[in-house]
Amino acid sequence: MDTTDRVTIALDTQLPSYLLSTTLTIVAFYFAYKLFKYSCQTIHFPGPKGSWYNGNLKELLADNAHEYWVKWNREYGQIFEVHSSCFSRLIFVGNPEVINHLCLRNYLKDEKVYNGFKYLSGNGLFSQLDPVQWKKQRSALAPSFSHANVYQQHHIMQEYMNILIEKLDLAIEQKKLVNISNEITLITIDFLGEIAFGQTFDALKLGENCLLMQLLQSILPELIKCAVFPLRGQFPILRVTRKMHEDIKKLRSICQASIKTAREMDESDRLFKKERIFEILATTKSSNGQYVFSEKELIDNYVTFLVAGGDPTASAITFALYELCRTENEQILRKAQEEVDELLDGRSDLINEHDLNKLKYLDMIIKETLRLHGPGFGTIRKLKENLTVNGITLPKNTSLYIWNYPVHRDPRIWSEPDIFNPENFRNVDAGEVKMNGSYFPFSHGPRKCLGLSLAMAEMRFILATFIHRYHFRLADNFKMIEKSSFTLCPSNGLPVYITKRI
Ligand code: HEM
């Protein structure tokens, strides 16, 4: 190829100049418009200074972003602003009265953020942005998560717990160091796989080779990036983003197949068992004989349960166990063990669903864990008009971050905010904590977590079984590192030595 050919090819592959100049003009106008809109904002709050081009983005995307939120809340007050680029800001709302108002009145979720989750969960409850559709869906789904239905799922947890006990007993015999955080993740996947997909995925048996586990590991970290940077999901240039889209398709088609089977069985077998939340939802019919949920609505929601439910529950159990393993919390562990021992009265059985609610001290431990290490960050809302609450005016069209981690560690609300102390929750019912809007690990108001009772039952059962049967000792020099990811999670697991207690 001679030089002339090379020049011709180079020119052919270049953009025509008129196209280039039009693109540049559009981009310039876009930025000028954003800058103009940003400079028109009149309501401002104090906040950390960031770099001129990407504001506080570095801190917001850091693994320890949660620590920055705590620091900023203590430094700049209960309402502050941070910037995710030079002209894009978000406002942190940590004032309990304002949180109460925004959540109880159920102001809309911020579509810019929640649209990013739609790749996975479509118009499922979590990412549903139309208030009328949300209300309809919420009231149709809620009965399946009633206490009575949650009780019905208990035997599934017991079955998986028996598998886990076998695994742990073997590790004890072999004197192995166990990363108990992995085992907790696997049991929650098994449990939710059954409840949400009506299938056995054998996560505890297969570990890393479990299909559901592999799909979630590929989807979740990328999904959160697509929620923060919407263009990433819309234009999947990166291989990881394309892989995420492919794996979402796989996950949804597994779910679709389960629904088809359940509905065929329901039509053909009059005695078809409907105990699991999966079957209850898939086969519920309205008075006109039609299924209440379309196939797509079911898939959107089943996938939501799997993702919204698995990760935070597993992290919360790991954080609670970590606190109970620490030498400074020895007395707390002893009290919790006495409570379970008394309930089981010397028996080595697994706790039944009715007894779970009697573990009042264990409940205080779980609530305190969710205060100090709440894995579900909170909720993000947006106003259509400026709003004044408690003398504070919040601007319209700005993302309002109602994050529990900094509020749960606010020294204006909690006397020793950084110390693990279950006594914070003595004589406090789940619903009427100290002050509304100051404790909300499951969010607050009508859009609070749908799976709250299920998650509480799972946490109580797994923790109670663990502390009743085993002694756990943290690996030498282990220090828990919390990471801000899809949820707040333990980034270095929880390595423990286990011995039998009964
Ligand atoms: C410890 C465990 C859990 C924690 C800390 C937690 C926390 C939360 C939080 C903070 C929200 C609000 C999210 C937002 O507004 O952006 C939420 C919503 C939700 N959670 Fe959970 N969750 C847990 C377990 C579960 C489980 C087990 C399920 C279901 C199986 C579940 C299903 C949902 C659903 C469907 C929503 C959306 C509710 C709506 O918008 O109406 N969660 N959760």
Among residues of the chain, what percentage have pLDDT more than 70?
A: 94
User: How far is 168 from 402, CA to CA, in rounded Å?
Assistant: 39
Residue having the nearest C-alpha atom to atom 32 of ligand 1: 451
Query: Which is the closest atom of ligand 1 to the Cα of 304?
Result: 35
Query: Which is the closest atom of ligand 1 to the Cα of 196?
Result: 30
Residue having the nearest C-alpha atom to atom 16 of ligand 1: 379
- Could you tell me which of 417, 432, 300, 308 has the C-alpha nearest to residue 368? 417
453-480: pLDDT as tens digits: 999 999 999 999 999 999 999 999 999 9
Helix/strand/coil percent split, the chain, to 5: 60, 10, 30
307-328: pLDDT as tens digits: 888 899 999 999 999 999 999 9
What pLDDT does 229 receive? 81
H/E element, 220: helix 211-228
Residue having the nearest C-alpha atom to atom 14 of ligand 1: 379
Query: Which is the closest atom of ligand 1 to the Cα of 440?
Result: 10
CA of 46 to the centre of ligand 1 (A): 31
Phi and psi (nearest 5°) for 432?
-115, 65
If one residue of 129, 449, 487, 488 were mutated to test the ligand 1 pocket, choosing by the most ligand atoms within 8 A of its CB, it would be: 449
161-170: pLDDT as tens digits: 999 999 999 9
Cβ 149 vs Cβ 450: under 8 Å: no
Per-residue confidence band for 87, with pLDDT thresholds at 50, 70 and 90: confident
pLDDT of residue 160 exceeding 80: yes
Phi and psi (nearest 5°) for 351?
-65, 140
Query: Which is the closest atom of ligand 1 to the Cα of 374?
Result: 5
Residue 493 one-letter amino acid? G
Query: Which is the closest atom of ligand 1 to the Cα of 459?
Result: 1
Residue having the nearest C-alpha atom to atom 12 of ligand 1: 443
DSSP line for 270-338: TT----SHHHHHHH-B-TTSSBSS-HHHHHHHHHHHHHHHHHHHHHHHHHHHHHHHSGGGHHHHHHHHH
pLDDT of residue 292 exceeding 90: yes
DSSP line for 451-481: THHHHHHHHHHHHHHHHHHEEEEEPTT----
Residue 290 one-letter amino acid? Q
User: How far is 217 from 457, CA to CA, in rounded Å?
Assistant: 25
Residue having the nearest C-alpha atom to atom 11 of ligand 1: 449
Per-residue confidence band for 80, with pLDDT thresholds at 50, 70 and 90: very high
pLDDT of residue 429 exceeding 70: no
Residue having the nearest C-alpha atom to atom 17 of ligand 1: 449
pLDDT of residue 5 exceeding 90: no
Q: Is 12 exposed, middle or buried (0-12, 13-18, 19+ CB in 10 A)?
A: exposed
pLDDT of residue 3 exceeding 60: no
Query: Which is the closest atom of ligand 1 to the Cα of 446?
Result: 41
Query: Which is the closest atom of ligand 1 to the Cα of 443?
Result: 10
What pLDDT does 156 receive? 95
CA of 442 to the centre of ligand 1 (A): 6
What pLDDT does 11 receive? 45
What pLDDT does 185 receive? 95
CA of 326 to the centre of ligand 1 (A): 28
- Tell which wins on pLDDT, 419 or 86: 419
CA of 205 to the centre of ligand 1 (A): 27
pLDDT of residue 39 exceeding 70: no
Which DSSP symbol is given to 446? G
User: How far is 177 from 217, CA to CA, in rounded Å?
Assistant: 24
Which DSSP symbol is given to 81? E
What pLDDT does 14 receive? 59
CA of 305 to the centre of ligand 1 (A): 8
Q: Which of 102-111, 221-230, 308-317 has the lowest mean pLDDT?
A: 221-230
Q: Which of 60-74, 117-131, 172-186, 219-233 has the lowest mean pLDDT?
A: 219-233
Q: How many CB atoms lie within 10 A of CB 19?
A: 10
- Could you tell me which of 312, 314, 307 has the C-alpha nearest to residue 197? 307
pLDDT of residue 340 exceeding 90: yes
CA of 73 to the centre of ligand 1 (A): 24
Q: Is 490 exposed, middle or buried (0-12, 13-18, 19+ CB in 10 A)?
A: buried
pLDDT of residue 47 exceeding 90: yes
What pLDDT does 274 receive? 84
Residue 152 one-letter amino acid? Q
Strands 88-93 and 79-85: antiparallel
377-408: pLDDT as tens digits: 999 999 999 999 999 999 999 999 999 999 99
Query: Which is the closest atom of ligand 1 to the Cα of 370?
Result: 5
Residue having the nearest C-alpha atom to atom 15 of ligand 1: 379
Interval 199-214 mean pLDDT: 93
Strand order in the sheet with 178-179: 178-179, 495-500, 470-474
CA of 198 to the centre of ligand 1 (A): 20
Residues 6+ apart with CB under 8 A from 207: 182, 186, 213
What pLDDT does 1 receive? 46
CA of 25 to the centre of ligand 1 (A): 44
Average pLDDT, the chain: 91
CA of 308 to the centre of ligand 1 (A): 5
DSSP β-bridge partners for residue 92: 80, 401
Among residues of the chain, what percentage have pLDDT more than 90?
A: 76
What pLDDT does 13 receive? 52
Residue having the nearest C-alpha atom to atom 19 of ligand 1: 449
- Could you tell me which of 293, 257, 252 has the C-alpha nearest to residue 119? 252
- Of the chain, the end-to-end C-alpha distance in Å amounts to 81
CA of 220 to the centre of ligand 1 (A): 15
pLDDT of residue 8 exceeding 50: no
108-144: pLDDT as tens digits: 999 988 998 999 999 999 999 999 999 999 999 999 9
Residue having the nearest C-alpha atom to atom 5 of ligand 1: 376
The first and second tokens of residue 52, run together, are 């001129």
Residue having the nearest C-alpha atom to atom 18 of ligand 1: 449
Per-residue confidence band for 153, with pLDDT thresholds at 50, 70 and 90: very high
Q: Is the dihedral of CA 49, 51, 53, 59 positive or negative?
A: negative
CA of 295 to the centre of ligand 1 (A): 22
Query: Which is the closest atom of ligand 1 to the Cα of 447?
Result: 41
Range list of H helices, 77-130: 96-104, 111-114, 118-121
What pLDDT does 85 receive? 81
pLDDT of residue 2 exceeding 80: no
What pLDDT does 427 receive? 76
User: How far is 139 from 459, CA to CA, in rounded Å?
Assistant: 25
- Could you tell me which of 411, 496, 320 has the C-alpha nearest to residue 94? 411
CATH 1.10.630.10 fits 58-500, yes or no: yes
* 255 belongs to an annotated ligand binding site: no
How long is the chain? 502
User: How far is 35 from 26, CA to CA, in rounded Å?
Assistant: 14
What pLDDT does 457 receive? 95
Q: Is the dihedral of CA 422, 485, 413, 394 positive or negative?
A: negative
Residues in the ligand 1 pocket, defined by CB under 6 Å: 125-126, 138, 304-305, 308-309, 312-313, 316, 375-376, 378-379, 441-443, 447, 449-451, 454-455
Per-residue confidence band for 9, with pLDDT thresholds at 50, 70 and 90: very low
The first and second tokens of residue 84, run together, are 């995710």
What pLDDT does 386 receive? 97
Interval 323-341 mean pLDDT: 97
- Could you tell me which of 315, 307, 305, 339 has the C-alpha nearest to residue 441? 315
Q: Which of 33-42, 332-341, 363-372 has the lowest mean pLDDT?
A: 33-42
Residue having the nearest C-alpha atom to atom 27 of ligand 1: 309
CA of 309 to the centre of ligand 1 (A): 6
